Amino acid sequence: MISPFVLHIDIDAFFAAAEVMMRPGLKGKPVIIGGMPDERGVVSTASYEAREFGVHSGMALRNAARKCPDGIFLRGRFHIYERISGQFFKCLSRFSPVVEAVSVDEAYIDLSGMTYFRSSVYEIVSRIKDAVEKNIGLKVSAGLGYTKLGAKLATEAAKPGGIFFMDDEKEFISGLSLEKIPGIGPHTLVILQGMGIKRVHELREKNFSLWKRVIGHYFYSSPGEYRKNREPKTRSFSRETTFMNDIRDRNMILSHLAYLLDRLSVYLVEKGLYAGRVEIKVRFSDFSTFTARVSLDLPTYSYQDIWKRSVPLLDKLLEKRKLPLRLVGIKVEDITDNRSLLPFVSIRGEELSRTITAIKKKHGFSSIFTAREFLLNRVYPVEKEGVVLKTASLTK
């Protein structure tokens, strides 16, 4: 049985605890950071003593003053918190090469490389916790999990000052209500509820791709893998081809373009990448070459959505010369693997592209084509894995 290896660490009542450390006279008192009780503005954090009165982050200061009239209100001193935060991350990086900062006082640490040491992962966590507390002078809480989400939720349970490990992590997370998931905001929540989705397992069952996009990244087995997966490897992908004979017929040119986009879209779907911009390239028979590009409304891998924006670009380029074309190409840029969920506009096109990709994967690339692509049958041999173009240049 493998041990949990994702550690999440979070400083307890960070800003308030920092102030208490600087002024020991405040120890044990309800300390509220954010401003004076009669000021506009909100509480940025409250000591645990103040939290007992119902004061919490984000609450209006006046409201906090009503709930906790004897509270000690302080303006924040951010240069101090910044310095402590720097120390915090520096200290963590001594324990693992993979430390992912989440906010000023919160990090994921990959412990998977620590199996060399004889000690159990629990001992390692307790040593890290002690070292950090000694180093920065503040209490922290630690959560241990098989996934980042599990570790984060464990920290919540560990607060204040503890270490917690959730051993039935998977079941626990599946049953959670979506509002408990960090990263799902109130807006998204309303949309999902409208779709009848309230819990994590329902999202997974009803819309796997959405689940993957919203919380799937927490399930990478380690912060390192997570990081690797989020770093875009190439900033653009392109497909282009030179024709057998120069072409004048717009439909035939479109047919080539459709095929190139088909290849590109399938590639993006398989990699889980979204394109933010599309560029079309043409070369006329006199070798004059032109490109035109446009930003997509929303990063997407949808064939339909990219196609809709590509055709006007092509038409614009075809007007540049009264000559037949020798080459057409398409490139997608501004690649991202992480897109905010909210604009649902292009989801339908994406569902279609995913379905088509799945069919192609199972039955061969040529098992399904758009009507546009069929003209190519007349010019090129069609094999199971695609049309045999004269020249096909893949991503450079």
Binding residues for Mg ion (CB under 5 A):
10-11, 14, 105
**Residue showing tokens 């966590």:** 125
Which residues here bind ligand DCP, judged by CB under 6 A?
10-15, 44-45, 57-58, 104-106, 159-160
Q: Which is nearer to Mg ion, 10 or 373 (CB)?
A: 10
| DSSP calls for 330-354 | EEEES-BS---S---TTHHHHHHHH
In this complex, which beta carbon is closest to ligand DCP, that of residue 57 or of residue 207? 57
CA-CA distance, 286 to 390, in Å (whole number)?
19
Q: Which does 57 bind (CB under 5 to 8 A by kind): ligand DCP, Mg ion, none?
A: ligand DCP
Residue 44 binds: one of Mg ion, ligand DCP, none (C-beta under 5 to 8 A by kind): ligand DCP
Nearest to ligand DCP of 58, 97 (CB atom)? 58
Q: Catalytic site residues?
A: 106
CA distance 291 to 305: 19
Q: Pick left, alpha or beta for residue 352 (phi over 0 → left; psi -120 to 50 → alpha; otherwise beta).
A: alpha
What is the three-state SS of 241-258? Answer: EEEEEEECCHHHHHHHHH
> Which among 181, 184, 163, 183 has a CA at the least distance from the CA of 172?
181
Shortest distance, position 80 Cβ to Mg ion, whole Å: 15
Both tokens of 222, joined, read: 């380690």
Min dist CB 104 to ligand DCP, Å, is 6
Q: How far is the CB of 74 from ligand DCP (least distance, A)?
A: 12
Nearer to ligand DCP, 44 or 353 (CB): 44
Q: Enumerate the β-bridge partners of residue 46.
A: 32
Q: How far is the CB of 160 from ligand DCP (least distance, A)?
A: 6
